[in-house]
Amino acid sequence: MAKTTKYGLVRAAAGARERAVAPYSRFKVGAALLTRSGETITGANVESASYGLTCCAERVALFNALTAGKRDFVAVAVVARAPGGPMPCGACRQLLAEYAPHAKVWVADSRAPRSVKEFSVRELLPAAFLEVPKIRLEKRGRSSKLPIGRIC
C-alpha cells in the first residue's frame, strides 16, 4: 500500500469536510480516496434544495478521481461529526463496490479522528449489483438485445 497512513487519509478527509456545502442539514462530510500509487483525492458533500440531487462526500471524491483518470483505490476515509463516524449510504456503497472493491473503508468522528473504524467494501455491501443484466425481447421469433441508454 502507499505511504499515506490511515490517520493521514482521515486528516485529508477532515480537511475536505471543511469545504462541504451543507446549507440545509449543516451535516458536513469529507472523504478522501487513496490510490495504490499514493495519490489522495478528496471530496465533500454538496446539498441541494431538491434533496435527491444532494451528493455524498464519498461519491464526490470518487467522481473527482475517476474523471481525473485515477483507478486502483486502496482506501477511502470518511469523516463527519457523528458518533463512531459516518457510515456510507447505499448509493456510495454500490459505487465503491464497482470502482474500489478492494479498498479499506475508514470512518471517523471529526471530534475523535484517532478513533477509526475499519471495514471492507464487501462487509458494507456483501451482495453488490455488479453486472448490467442482458435484456432480451422476443421479436418475430428472434431475441434482440436492448441498448442501455442514459439515465439522465
Please write the tens of the pLDDT for every residue from 4-49: 799 999 999 999 999 999 999 999 999 999 999 999 999 999 999 9
pLDDT at 130: 86
Q: Give catalytic residues, as residue numbers.
A: 58
Other C-beta atoms closer than 10 Å to the C-beta of 134 total: 9
Quickly list DSSP for 84-138. Answer: T-PPP-HHHHHHHHHH-TT-EEEEEETT-TT-EEEEEHHHH-TT---SPPPPEEE
pLDDT at 152: 52
pLDDT at 146: 47
When pLDDT is averaged across residues 109-118 and rounded to a whole number, the result is 98
Of the candidates 130, 69, 48, which has an alpha carbon nearest to the alpha carbon of residue 95?
A: 130
Q: To the nearest 5 percent, what fractions of the chain are helix, strand and coil?
A: 25, 30, 45
Q: Per-residue pLDDT for 135 more than 90?
A: no
Residue with grid cell 464519498, as numbered in its chain? 58
Per-domain boundaries in the chain: 6-145
Q: Which fold has domain 6-145?
A: Cytidine Deaminase; domain 2 (3.40.140)
Q: Per-residue pLDDT for 75 more than 60?
A: yes
Q: What percent of the chain has pLDDT over 70?
A: 86
* pTM (two decimals): 0.85
